[in-house]
Structure formats: structure tokens, C-alpha cells
Amino acid sequence: MKNNYESVANWSFLWWLFKLFGFPFFLPWALYNFIGIINQKRQRTNLQGKVVMITGASSGLGESLAHLFYSCGCKIILVSRRRKELEKVRNDIMNTHQTVTTHPPIVLTLDLTEINSLKSEVNKVLDIYGKIDILINNAGISYRGEIIDTKVDIDIKVMLINYFAQIALTKAVIPSMIKQNNGHVVYISSVQGKIGIPYRSAYAASKHALQAWCDVCRAEMAEKNVAITVISPGYIKTSLSLNALTGTGQVYGVMDEATEKGYTPEFVADQVLKAVLKKEKDLVVATFTPKVAILLRTVFPSIYFWIMQKRAKKLKKNR
């Protein structure tokens, strides 16, 4: 009986503390989130009929983005080099979202590194829909290797895919957005676009370049009503590391442990959608450690450099 009485007394005391200190914080927080959910549902309805072009849509995050934006009533253009895989994604979308009223996704087989042909390919979409409301630059390639063993050709190839192809496609699309005085371009970058880590030199460099270009583009496009959003995810559980290039140009072919434990593509796709609805300028989708590393690189760079040196030495032993 005594234990029961003490238990009740403890819970009564905790409830009293919550009423005294918890309610003043909890109620505004709950109200803020409730309003946010209502606004998000309303904003999602505003996406109905929007034309959304998604690169790298044949698998992984691109595929999840295609499903999600289609479920919002968007007209989707699926872009990738692999037509067979794109057709599969298209069929999966049609079979999964049968209750959604929108146009069947368009499949556009396109090698983004063929930069001089991008303008004509974009015109094909414009001939069909007359506009592109949202461009999501998701296509990319990863890299694993040591700087001293990496051929310059590999640096150039990674930069071509992750940087030059992205901005070339954007330059092909943006004039139509400016003409309609409305548009949104989204870039799937990486945490490594903000911090460089050992054995990722080519990849980090390409993402750093993309980040800088987007910062300038955002400023220049503001008065033209074209929004620029950069999403910097941490690890995502996709085949990115499997398809990564090594310093010799071979395929890495290994699912990294960190990648295996990364966010699901569906989770990251949901974060991208929220960022689009809010017209976020720059969003990091990562766990606590990468966010701390970004902060360290900015505020205490010497500590960050020391940590990366230790990391490089440790990874060298395990290679």
C-alpha cells in the first residue's frame, strides 16, 4: 500500500510540474504544428497540375520523388538514360496511384552529359505541356578513391555529371520559367557539398561547385520569381555507393555500411516535398554528427581539419 501511495504521489507531483511548466510550452508548440499540417495539406493541393521534371528517376530517390509528386496530382516527366527502368517506374506509378487524377508520366530517355542536346530535349517537354513548373536535379554519380591514385579523367567525369550537366539542364529550362514569371529548381546535393571528407575528393568538389553556383543563381533569379532550393542529404539507402566510380574508373560495387544504414529514399523524398512547399533555400537532411561537422568547419575549422586527418589515417589502415 505504501508503494502504491508513493507512486500516486509521484505521478501527482509530475502532473503538477507539467501543468506549471509544460503547458506554456506544449500548447504553442502543438498549435504551431497543427497549423503547419493544415497549411501543408493546403499547399499540396496547389501542386495539382504542376509539371515536374525529375532527373535520375529510374531508381532510388528519383523514383521515390516521382511517386510522391505524382500522388500530389503533378504531371511527371521521368528522366534517365535507362529507358527500360523508366518504363518500369512509370508502370509502378500508374498501378500504385490509380485513384489519382493526372496525366500518365512521360518517359524521357536522356544522357545529361550530352550537354549540347539538352535544349532540344527540354523543348520536347515544352511542346507537350507548354511549361515546366518544377525541375528536380537528382541525377548524379558518387566516387571512392585516394587523390594520388585518381586519374584526372575521373575528376572531370564526376564534375561533368554532378555539376556541368546540372547547370546546363537548368539553363535549358530556366528561360521558360522566367517567361511565365514562375518556377522552382531543386538540386539534390549532399552534406559533402558543405564539408569534404577523405576519399571523396571528386564527389565533394562537384557538390561544392554546385552549392556555390546555386547560391549565385538564387540571388540572380529572385526578382524573376524563380526559386532555387538545395537539399543536402546525408547517407541515403540507395545504390549510389554500388555505382560509384573508383580512381581508375572501375565501379566501386560495394554497399557502404553507412549507406546501408542511411535514410530511406521515401523519407528524403518527403523532406524534399516539404522544402518545395515551403520554398526552402537550403536544407540539410542529416543526422546530428554531420550537422556538427558542418558547424565545426564554419566556426572551428582547425578542429575540423584535425578530425579529418585522424579519419583519413584510420580509413587508410582499413583500406
Q: Are residues 217 and 228 in contact, defined by beta-carbon separation less than 8 angstroms?
A: yes
Return the pLDDT at 13. Answer: 58
What amino acid is encoded at 154 in this protein?
I
pLDDT 10s digits, 194-252? 999 999 999 999 999 999 999 999 999 999 999 999 999 999 998 888 888 898 888 88
Q: How confident is the model at residue 300 (pLDDT cuts 50, 70, 90)?
A: very high
What is the reported pLDDT for 19?
Answer: 58
Q: What is the pLDDT of residues 103-112, one digit of tens each?
A: 899 999 999 9
pLDDT value at residue 276: 96
Domain ranges of the chain: 28-286, 292-319
Residue 258 clears pLDDT 90, i.e. is over it: no
Percent of the chain with pLDDT over 90: 73
Look up 203 and say whether it is catalytic. yes
Answer whether 63's CB lies under 8 Å from 105's CB: no
**Cβ atoms of 152 and 179 closer than 8 Å:** no
Query: How many other CB atoms are found less than 10 A from the CB of residue 82?
Result: 13
Pairing of strands 282-285, 106-109: unpaired
Find the distance separating the first CA and the last CA of the chain, reported in whole Å: 63
Please state, in angstroms and rounded to a whole number, the distance separating the CA atoms of residues 158 and 139.
12
Of all residues in the chain, the percent with pLDDT exceeding 70 is: 85
Q: Which CATH superfamily includes the segment(s) 28-286? A: NAD(P)-binding Rossmann-like Domain (3.40.50.720)
Cβ atoms within 10 Å, residue 98: 7
Catalytic residue selected from 163, 187, 203, 304? 203
Task: Report which secondary-structure segment, H or E, holds 208.
Answer: helix 201-221
Least confident of 2-11, 17-26, 164-173, 255-264: 2-11
- Type of residue numbered 220: E
Dihedral over alpha carbons 22, 25, 30, 31 (to 10 degrees): 130
Where does 129-214 show beta strands of DSSP type E? 134-137, 183-188
